[in-house]
Amino acid sequence: MTLSDLEKTYDRASAAPKDVDRVSLDIRSGEFLTMLGPSGSGKTTTLMMIAGFETPTAGDIAIDGKSVVAMPPYRRNIGMVFQNYALFPHLTVEENVGFPLKQRGVPKPERARLVAEALELVHLPGYGARYPRQLSGGQQQRVAVARAVVFKPRLLLMDEPLGALDKQLRENLQLEMRRLHADLGITFIYVTHDQEEALTMSDRIAVMNDGKVAQVGTPEDLYDRPENRFVAGFIGESNFLPAVVRGVENDVVIAECDGAVIRALCPGRPASGEKVTLTTRPERLRFADSAWIGEQMPQNCLSVTVTEAVFAGERCRYMLQAGDGTSIVLKEPSSAAIRRRAVGERAEIAWSVADTILV
């Protein structure tokens, strides 16, 4: 499926920014794609346009090369699961799951077979006669999933389907959704504002911000090579170091940061003298005098003062301050053999060029 310059402006009279702004995405057949972004970034609106419940202001949606913009929702052959279950309270589980089949005129015996198959798929065989209120939140959401896949759609859209569930249940259902994706072999487009959920579940993630796609890539791409400050800050934790460009060598930019020379990866070619921001992850930094497991000492070094030291069980978390006042977080795996740093202590930190990105 392809989204091309997809736009939506709910209030065309106002000068407010577009609610969905030139979203272009190539979604591969059979992939698990997650749209991740803060509240109000346009995720639901994009899903609603794909499903056919909202009309784009501009742009196109094509499935198998054919535009579906003019097609009514039921003819698009897309399943959808909402955050709030949206089950019919006065219908039994069986009737809820069978509803899309009834709408499509599937005869009764065939309907019963498909409903049983769908309930089996979500591990709820034997629950057909119950009403939604007789089920837990997690079970209701499984019924909603069964209803969304019972007519064998080519695409399943899910809008924060686990948002209302507690953490443990959410983690179990995350695994079930992955399994379901593997079983069905169809394309999933999954919406969440939870970056950890997105990282664990997805083949690829499209990060949304202010109605636009900030970056698309695999979880590793986004975590290791964020293309902009928004993505670096939204996915995982990041340090941001102000620096001035001094030169470029191949794909490596050489920058000056608090008087030190820092090398960073950079797809573009920033000009000498340009003020930039470098980003690096807390767990990729080490104290320079600690033991290095690895064949080479990383090239980037900076002098800092420890301003806060927290022992958090599996790791120690340090707040550091560079000479120019920049705050830096360093996370170190804990070991009884590693000396803890004290607040006020001066230290050198070091990290790899590969873990330093210009954003």
State the binding partner of 40 from Mg ion, ligand ADP, none, CB within 5 to 8 A by kind.
ligand ADP
45 binds Mg ion (CB under 5 A): no
SS3 content of the chain, % helix, strand, coil (to 5): 25, 35, 40
Q: What is the C-alpha separation between 71 and 56, in angstroms, rounded?
A: 12
Among 45, 139, 187, 279, interactor with ligand ADP by CB under 6 A: 45
Contacting residues for 291 by C-beta, under 8 A, at least 6 apart:
none
Put residue 10 in one of left, alpha, beta given phi > 0 → left and psi -120 to 50 → alpha.
alpha
- Provide the minimum distance between the beta carbon of 211 and ligand ADP in the complex, in angstroms, as a whole number: 7
- Provide the minimum distance between the beta carbon of 272 and Mg ion in the complex, in angstroms, as a whole number: 44
Q: What is the C-alpha separation between 146 and 94, in angstroms, rounded?
A: 10
Among 12, 13, 39, 313, interactor with ligand ADP by CB under 6 A: 39
Q: What is the C-alpha separation between 224 and 198, in angstroms, rounded?
A: 15
Q: In degrees to the nearest 10, what's the CA dihedral of 199, 201, 202, 208?
A: -60
Which CB atom, from 44 or from 96, has the smaller least distance to Mg ion?
A: 44
21 binds ligand ADP (CB under 6 A): no
Which CB atom, from 146 or from 213, has the smaller least distance to ligand ADP?
A: 213
Q: What is the C-alpha separation between 155 and 180, in angstroms, rounded?
A: 13
Binding segment for ligand ADP (CB under 6 A), chosen from 32-40, 68-76, 81-89, 346-354, is: 32-40
Positions in 81-100 near ligand ADP (CB under 6 A): none
- Provide the minimum distance between the beta carbon of 41 and ligand ADP in the complex, in angstroms, as a whole number: 4
State the binding partner of 37 from Mg ion, ligand ADP, none, CB within 5 to 8 A by kind.
ligand ADP
Among 1, 21, 25, 37, interactor with ligand ADP by CB under 6 A: 37
Among 34, 44, 202, 356, interactor with Mg ion by CB under 5 A: 44
Structural element, H or E, at residue 229: helix 229-234
280 binds ligand ADP (CB under 6 A): no
Among 6, 27, 34, 44, interactor with ligand ADP by CB under 6 A: 44
Binding segment for Mg ion (CB under 5 A), chosen from 44-52, 108-116, 178-186, 318-326, is: 44-52
Q: Are 88 and 96 in contact (CB under 8 A)?
A: yes
Q: What is the C-alpha separation between 221 and 170, in angstroms, rounded?
A: 25
State the binding partner of 227 from Mg ion, ligand ADP, none, CB within 5 to 8 A by kind.
none
Closest CA to 235 of 203, 209, 265: 209
Closest CA to 145 of 169, 127, 119: 119
- Provide the minimum distance between the beta carbon of 153 and ligand ADP in the complex, in angstroms, as a whole number: 21
236 binds ligand ADP (CB under 6 A): no
42 binds ligand ADP (CB under 6 A): yes
Contacting residues for 57 by C-beta, under 8 A, at least 6 apart:
7, 8, 9, 12, 18
Closest CA to 206 of 33, 48, 42: 33
What are the C-alpha distances in Å from 13 to residues 17, 18, 37? 11, 11, 26
Which CB atom, from 39 or from 296, has the smaller least distance to ligand ADP?
A: 39
19 binds ligand ADP (CB under 6 A): yes
State the binding partner of 41 from ligand ADP, Mg ion, none, CB within 5 to 8 A by kind.
ligand ADP
Which CB atom, from 10 or from 292, has the smaller least distance to ligand ADP?
A: 10
Q: What is the C-alpha separation between 98 and 115, in angstroms, rounded?
A: 6
CB nearest Mg ion: which residue? Answer: 44
Question: Residue numbers of the site for ligand ADP (CB under 6 A)?
Answer: 10, 19, 37, 39-45
